[in-house]
């Protein structure tokens, strides 16, 4: 079993920045995909960015050039640096984790329900 703990959410003004963190613990995979997803009230969960254990990244078009996903393999932690935040970025952000063998990163970003990952509890991001 894998536990994911997200942190770093908060409230910022438009144009501001936030950095989210997601730490994995428990029975983790040596090769994996980790990603950030978000869900606003009344909307479906959407993909934001995914990174695999080799460092390959995929971004949703809506965040390209503004958000950066990165990782610290030794700490089993993934980060999401969010710059130039917009009100439409307001959502609860969730970290997802799955084995690389079960991961099609582009598909996962485009269709979050296509995968069955471990999920964290989420962290709220509010942009006003």
Q: Is the pLDDT of residue 74 over 90?
A: no
Please tell me the predicted confidence (pLDDT) of residue 73.
Answer: 86
- 128: pLDDT confidence band, cut at 50, 70 and 90? very high
Q: What are 18-34's pLDDT values in tens digits?
A: 999 999 999 889 899 99
The string of DSSP letters for 57-100 reads: EEE-GGGTTTEEEEEETTTTEEEEEE-S--GGG-EEEEEEEEEG
Q: What is the DSSP letter of 106?
A: H
Q: What is the pLDDT of residue 71?
A: 96
| Percent of the chain residues topping a pLDDT of 70 | 100
For residues 53-71, average pLDDT: 96
Is residue 124 a contact partner of residue 68, using CB atoms and an 8 Å limit? no
| pLDDT (0 to 100) of residue 96 | 96
On the 0-12 / 13-18 / 19+ scale of CB atoms within 10 A, 44 is: exposed
How far is Cα 89 from Cα 92, in angstroms, rounded to an integer?
9
14 secondary structure, DSSP code = T
Q: What percent of the chain has pLDDT over 90?
A: 90
66, 82 Cβ separation under 8 angstroms:
yes
């Amino acid at each position: 079993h894998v536990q994911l703990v997200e942190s770093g959410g908060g409230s910022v003004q438009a144009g501001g920045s936030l950095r989210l963190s997601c730490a994995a613990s428990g029975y983790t995979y040596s090769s994996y995909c980790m990603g950030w997803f978000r869900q606003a009230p009344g909307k479906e969960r959407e993909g934001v960015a995914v990174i695999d254990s080799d460092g390959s990244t995929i971004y949703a078009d809506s965040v390209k050039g503004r958000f950066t996903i990165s990782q610290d393999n030794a700490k089993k932690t993934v980060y999401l640096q969010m710059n130039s935040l917009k009100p439409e970025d307001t959502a609860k952000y969730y970290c997802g984790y799955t084995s690389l063998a079960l991961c099609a990163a582009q598909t996962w970003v485009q269709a979050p329900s296509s995968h069955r990952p471990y999920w964290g509890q989420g962290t709220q991001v509010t942009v006003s």
